[in-house]
Amino acid sequence: MEIVNGELAPRLRTARLVLRGWQGSDFDAHAAMSADPDVMRYLGGPVDREEAWRRMAGHAGHWVLRGYGMWVVERQADGTLLGRVGLWNPEGHPGLEVGWHLARQAWGQGYAIEAARAAMEWAWTVLEAPRLISIIHPENAASIHVAERLGEGFLRHDDTEDEPAVIYGIERPRS
């Protein structure tokens, strides 16, 4: 993997978004999003700045250790950081996950679906991933809706990190 313009992650563009690697200047927006109780409702609850920093560093480090990870999602029109979307597979995870985590002001505008489709296409073509999963809190109807819109189907109920979860998944499309 090659670092371009200080970024380990490749840049992806969609009609409205830029998916890019993590930068130190992302921290304040990431910390604010991570402290929002509504945004963090299904992700273990809000966290302080120190924990937000550790999580951001973990996302950046995932690219180094795995060669893929979560991208920062920016709106092309104004460069606003909207959240993170991408691929996640830490040690002990049940599979290669496509996930999304957006700031409240980005909800309901199709950004999660648009960014996740770009991440999925990258996973199919670059990683040649045979399947992707999404791990979702069973009460998170909005994320279940996103998974279904992405073509994922319900696979099973599970418990991850001592939390109830539903796992959705999709097989790599045949060429």
Q: Which residue has the higher pLDDT, 127 or 162?
A: 127
CA 1 to chain centroid, in Å, comes to 20
pLDDT grade for 7, boundaries at 50, 70 and 90 = low
pLDDT grade for 42, boundaries at 50, 70 and 90 = very high
What is the percent of the chain where pLDDT is above 70?
A: 95
Of 99, 25, 83, 90, the C-alpha closest to 61 is 90
Average pLDDT of the residues in 13-31: 97
Distance CA 147, CA 151 (A): 7
Average pLDDT of the residues in 56-80: 96
What is the percent of the chain where pLDDT is above 90?
A: 91
Are the C-beta atoms of 53 and 27 separated by less than 8 Å?
yes
In a 10 Å sphere around its CB, with 0-12 CB exposed, 13-18 middle and 19+ buried, how is residue 79 labelled?
Answer: exposed
User: Is the pTM higher than 0.85?
Assistant: yes
- pLDDT of residue 3 exceeding 70, the answer is no
- pLDDT of residue 30 exceeding 50, the answer is yes
Are the C-beta atoms of 116 and 123 separated by less than 8 Å?
no
